[in-house]
Structure 1
């Protein structure tokens, strides 16, 4: 007990010193040194693997009176989190005082699913709060939480393992922060999670194969530092929207992609992907947005590219594709935006140069089509067009990179010393623009029910809650602005939709 008290005292002293250091900073922006300090301080405070000891809540003494034990546990978690916050310029947590946690700003309570007589903390929404700090292990005490929205803050460090105890989780949004480390595998332990948003952080490494075996509806991974190949298990995924853009993924698009029967929107842009397109990609008959731009894909387009009858936005620009542009693609019935610029296409049908429909936008600049304006020079074209890739002999299979000639085995190399357990300081990057309006989210913290005004549908959103299969509503990109899907930091779903999915009664307004 004495050692624990001394550790807590040391932690408080460290935090106080950190606060004094911050007070001399003229702006609310964190420097690289400050971000690194927060991340390292979290690691110093974390128990092994960031786990929460069983029965930890009983070791914490509280003098306040609570309506039930679950609210006391929530109080312990939220107070620990408040102490782990480095800066709160909007004073969001100024009323996080006292035992009435359901009155805390950004904290939402409902009746428990398993014991309706009990009121519990079921959601936390701190979107756009600009809070700096880290996530303490005590958050693992919030076992009734179904939603965590933290987008557009300045949280640093790693996602602690203790969050694996949040088994009711449906939505997890930590986008536009400064989190680091490997993909947070805690999400794999959540049996009911539907929505994962990790955009605009500094996560790195490979994606776990099990991720695509989860019953997800939306998965946002763009603008991180993920590497390795995209797992072959992607074919098992139930997602309707997934974004891989602006990472360092390599290899090929897995052939199993054709099995993604629910897929509506998928974005691979700006990675290190290559090889030929798998024939199976043409099986995505329901896809509305397909963006593979700014990679290194080669060869000609598969004949079944013309099977995308519902595609609205098709972007294959910025690759090394060759051959002719098929007429059928430019005549797809739902197509409104088609970009195949900056490739090496040598032929183009009149249906693409002069589309029959006026509401279609076609960009063919930077190719090798004779007689067209703004094309590559003959010298640039000859280097690629004279050496076409035969995709029938392409060795790119199952999400693996193209095979390379076998080379003699290299002599064994002594393993480097184990890495120091502290993440690198995150690299500063400006937050993405918020292009979507924030939906109304007036949620009652009373013990009655969730406010009926929290699910107002607008034309910005698709409604994914049919009577037979409840699914999360997610944003769609327009034909003139695909980047909206990637760059929006708006809360994309609302609490009442998720509570409805959890079996908690909530009313909706809208069509």
Structure 2
């Protein structure tokens, strides 16, 4: 039994004791042996279902699923589920019904939003009955344990936000079996282990898996992903920064790889990411010079390369980029910079080895670090084929845009706010310190 499940059960002790009392009473008074809490709960559910009328079987299944979720909740301080009584699930607080996409005359539960409820509990298997669900948002709560295996029944699920909870265990591979999923957010949880490379073959538009305990090397097939936003920060990755990311040039707008233990040079292929507006590679172990190809990132607004081992000079082509606003090169081993960098609205170059600039590393520290020239080939990273042009690099045509609408209107609920420095404040806030 993991720690999370133990906490859930401990919190349910009063409820379980009451059930056991009832069970013993039945056994003593009526001679009914083997009565369990589960038997009583299901018997009670069958009794209620026999009394209720539902407009269609889908709403009946939704009632069963929502009642199971309510009983799996051990603390609801804002009473978000207090109205979850009776068969009219479309009038439940934070539950939204709509016509089914395959039948305009069939009303179904399409969305559930329990965000910011500080709710404690777990996610029961009965949630798999919500086969018409398109949106499930339960961020900023205290749901524990892992995802139910029956989640793979949610074939219409488009958005899933489980961020800022206490979910744990290995990466929930049930998420790989959701054919309609476009927006996946499991950041700020306690998932651990490897991330299956199949995640990057899915037709997702946004991936947020940051601030967990994942530990693996970023696979070469990351370039297969058609996402516009991907945040992998604050995990325990290792190995190379893969040059295959360049294959995402038609779709990728924002990528955050900070604080992951990446150990390589920065591939020149990153200069092919023409649509990129935010790039954060800070707090890694990246070495070698800044690629001149970074000067091709004409849409870049935020570029954070702080806290690495980057050497050489800052090319003028980078600091002259037309939309660049925030450039952070601090805590590296750069020896010179373009004067155009000093005119940026936000620029940081402290603790490098640039003569004449304030707050630099000591001469001894710079000499020791720069005496050993970095050989980027020594990292033995895989490279994109160099014989083909960028236009012909794809083995198959790149995926089309996921929609014709602007990024701001893409989701049924607002996407995370724009990514800005400081980089650890992206999206929803981290869980409050205990």
Q: Place the TM-score, normalised by the shorter chain, in its bin.
A: 0.7 to 0.9
Is 1:17 aligned to 2:13, yes or no? yes
8 A Cα contact 2:416 2:427, kept in partner: no
Q: Which residue does 1:259 correspond to in 2?
A: 247
8 A Cα contact 1:317 1:342, kept in partner: yes
8 A Cα contact 1:477 1:483, kept in partner: no
8 A Cα contact 2:217 2:239, kept in partner: yes
Deviations 1:349-402 (Å, cap 9, x if unpaired)? Answer: 2222x32xxx52110000011121100011211221111202255412269xxx
8 A Cα contact 2:283 2:306, kept in partner: yes
Is 1:225 aligned to 2:213, yes or no? yes
Secondary structure at 2:64's aligned position in 1? helix
Q: 1:114 offset after TM fit, Å?
A: 2.3
The alpha-carbon distance between structure 1 residues 370 and 84, as it changes in their structure 2 partners (threshold 3 A), is same
Instruction: Name the stretch that deviates more: 175-184 or 61-70.
Output: 61-70
What are structure 1's unaligned runs of at least 5 residues? Answer: 1-12, 22-44, 47-55, 400-463, 491-511
Q: What's the Cα RMSD here?
A: 2.8
What are structure 2's unaligned runs of at least 5 residues? Answer: 1-8, 18-36, 385-401
* Number of residue pairs aligned between Structure 1 and Structure 2: 378
Q: 1:483 offset after TM fit, Å?
A: 4.3
Q: 1:306 offset after TM fit, Å?
A: 1.0
Secondary structure at 2:262's aligned position in 1? strand
Q: Which consecutive segments of 4 or more residues in structure 1 shift more than 3 A?
A: 13-16, 18-21, 467-476, 478-484, 486-490
Is 1:395 aligned to 2:366, yes or no? no
Q: 1:139 offset after TM fit, Å?
A: 0.5
Secondary structure at 1:148's aligned position in 2? strand
Deviations 1:315-358 (Å, cap 9, x if unpaired)? Answer: 00000111111111111110000000000011122222x32xxx
Q: TM-score, normalised by structure 2?
A: 0.81
Q: Which residue does 1:122 correspond to in 2?
A: 110
The alpha-carbon distance between structure 1 residues 324 and 360, as it changes in their structure 2 partners (threshold 3 A), is same
Q: Which residue does 2:294 correspond to in 1?
A: 305
The alpha-carbon distance between structure 1 residues 116 and 398, as it changes in their structure 2 partners (threshold 3 A), is same
Q: 1:301 offset after TM fit, Å?
A: 1.2
Query: Which fold has the larger relative contact order, with Cα–Cα distance below 8 Å and residues 6 or more apart in sequence?
Result: 1
Q: TM-score, normalised by structure 1?
A: 0.69
8 A Cα contact 1:365 1:373, kept in partner: yes
Question: Matches of residues 103-114 of structure 1 in structure 2 within 5 Å?
Answer: 103-114=91-102
Question: Matches of residues 121-270 of structure 1 in structure 2 within 5 Å?
Answer: 121-260=109-248, 261-270=250-259
Question: Matches of residues 478-493 of structure 1 in structure 2 within 5 Å?
Answer: 479=420, 482-488=423-429
Secondary structure at 2:335's aligned position in 1? strand
The alpha-carbon distance between structure 1 residues 360 and 467, as it changes in their structure 2 partners (threshold 3 A), is closer
8 A Cα contact 2:139 2:162, kept in partner: yes
Q: Which residue does 1:94 correspond to in 2?
A: 82
Question: Matches of residues 404-419 of structure 1 in structure 2 within 5 Å?
Answer: none
Q: 1:465 offset after TM fit, Å?
A: 5.5
CA–CA distance in structure 2, aligned partners of residues 164 and 377 of structure 1: 56
